[in-house]
Each structure stands twice: as C-alpha cells, then as structure tokens.
Amino acid sequence: MAARTATLWRLAQDWIDLDTGTLLCAAEDFSCAGNGAAAVGGRWNSVGRAVVYLADSLALAQLEKR
C-alpha cells in the first residue's frame, strides 16, 4: 500500500514539526495531550475524553476554533 501524507492545521502554538511529523512537546504538555478537551468537553468529545482537534485546511481550523 502506498504511503499517504496529509497537511493538518491547528490554531495554537507550533507543537509539531511539519516536515517530520515529530511532536515538539512532551505528551504531558497541556497543549498536545488533549487535557483541555478532557477537562471541559467539546464539540466532538465528552468530559473525560482527551482529544486534540486538527483540521485538513486552515479555513476549517478557523471555523472549529470559533
């Protein structure tokens, strides 16, 4: 199967190396672990479920941020 690539957008501090896909923050870091979503819930998750929201276009990321 051929490898697939995707460009993902997140409106927050730079926390992923887009060239390698490597996380630039520790998993315990609040911004990359989904702890904010787990603490208060969100559009796509309930309280207690950690989620990191991403989008495949900048426009969609901006819509989700609102």
Spatial CA neighbour of 38 closest among 29, 49, 27:
49
Place of tokens 């990321």: 61
Q: What is the C-alpha to C-alpha distance for residues 6 and 2, in angstroms, rounded to an integer? A: 13
Measured between its terminal Cα atoms, the distance across the chain in Å is 37
Structure confidence at residue 47 (pLDDT): 92
pLDDT in tens, 7-61: 656 555 556 666 666 666 655 555 567 777 788 887 778 899 887 777 777 777 7
Structure confidence at residue 37 (pLDDT): 79
